[in-house]
Amino acid sequence: KRKAKNWTSFPGNGSSNSSLSFNAPEELLSRTRNGELGNANDYMDEVLVLVREQIVLQGLDRIQLPDGDFSFTWDAYPGVTGGVYLHDGLATGMETIHRVGDATLSSSETIIFFESDCGINSGSFGYAISILFMDIGPTASMTGTADYINFFFHSTIDILSGLVVVDVFDLKQIGHISTEITGLGIFNWLAEIIVDFALNLLAPFFKELIEGPITNLINVVLQAYVDSLRNPPTTMAGLAV
């Protein structure tokens, strides 16, 4: 069983020399040689196949979540403060990223604009929960699932240089998030507070994840894809981002 990894250590997160190298799909190469470039949906689907592969290879399919804690008081015990600790968090689902709706290509002089909505299905997360209050210290667990998470993707491709820039990869819409906490016992009244705290803890974390490593990874893969169209002999190689 693979361990979850901390995304802050991944290539491409603040790095200036991340790169990828992998075989270009033979179907893509054959189509390119024959001048059959296909439509924007085909392009996006092929790019996302490669993105999914790299997400798994780089460990972004199992993401270590940040720890968090907060204090609380209980009216039944005036003057006593307790603490809730969320730890050993894990998120999965990024490896399901796929196109949503149609991808479009447009151009202006020497620049091609490539955009699409994309999303992940059943993104899940979980935490272990420890509560400290007087001599009572139950442990609990929390799980959550988002029905879907959709993003808007936009990139520019310089026709002359082949340089790719993913300039937008933003969160667009989140489906219903269902959560479950077990093991709280007499502290079950804290459940809603814990859920709200966890979601507020995760919001900026995932924003940084999406705008950092995930955007960089898509940029590297798309650059490699464009390079394969421009120079299709055998491989696709990612340029530095």
DSSP-derived secondary structure for 77-123 = STT-EEEEEEEEEEEE-GGG-EEEEEEEEEEETTEEEEEEEEEEEEE
pLDDT class of 6 with cuts at 50, 70, 90:
low
Helix H or strand E encompassing 151: strand 139-158
The pLDDT of residue 76 is: 87
Q: Please compute the mean of the pLDDT values over residues 8-34 and round it to a whole number.
A: 44
Domains of the chain: 18-235 (3.15.10.50)
Quote the CA–CA distance of 65 and 88 in Å, as a whole number. Answer: 7
pLDDT tens string 78-131:
989 999 999 999 999 999 999 998 998 887 888 888 899 999 988 999 999 999
Placement of tokens 């796929």 in the chain = 98
User: Would strands 177-182 and 68-73 be described as parallel, antiparallel, or unpaired?
Assistant: unpaired
